[in-house]
Amino acid sequence: MIPSLPKLLGLIAIIWVVWTLFRIYETRQAAIRANQTKDDEAAGRCDRSDTNHSVELRECKQCGAWVSGENCGRENCPY
């Protein structure tokens, strides 16, 4: 069974419409996320789960635990 030219053109048109709608949806979602980020930054709220933030960890010489420069809670901890 060989597809006819009108069927192929119709399929291409449907795929193009779906792809265009998806691009429009993604553009709107990106704009909403950007506005939320600007609002959060203006209000002083910061999402700590953001992948752009990092924490420097150091290994405690006494207990071997990795700490972020704070006391690990153990006796003789240098942090």
Nearest to 77 by CA among 68, 49, 22: 68
Report the pLDDT value the prediction gives residue 67, as an integer from 0 to 100. 78
Cα 46 to Cα 74: distance, rounded to the nearest angstrom: 31
pTM reported for the whole predicted model: 0.46
What pLDDT does 20 receive? Answer: 98
Closest CA to 67 of 53, 76, 56: 56
Read off the pLDDT of residues 2-51 as tens digits, 9 standing for 90 and up. 889 999 999 999 999 999 999 999 999 999 988 888 777 776 665 555 56
**CA-CA-CA-CA dihedral for 39, 41, 47, 50, to nearest 10:** 110
For the chain, the structural domain boundaries read 8-42
Instruction: Give the span between the Cα atoms of 51 and 57, in whole angstroms.
Output: 16
What residue has token string 């700590």?
48
pLDDT at 65: 77
Residue 72 pLDDT level (bands cut at 50, 70, 90)? low
CB atoms within 10 A of CB 51: 6
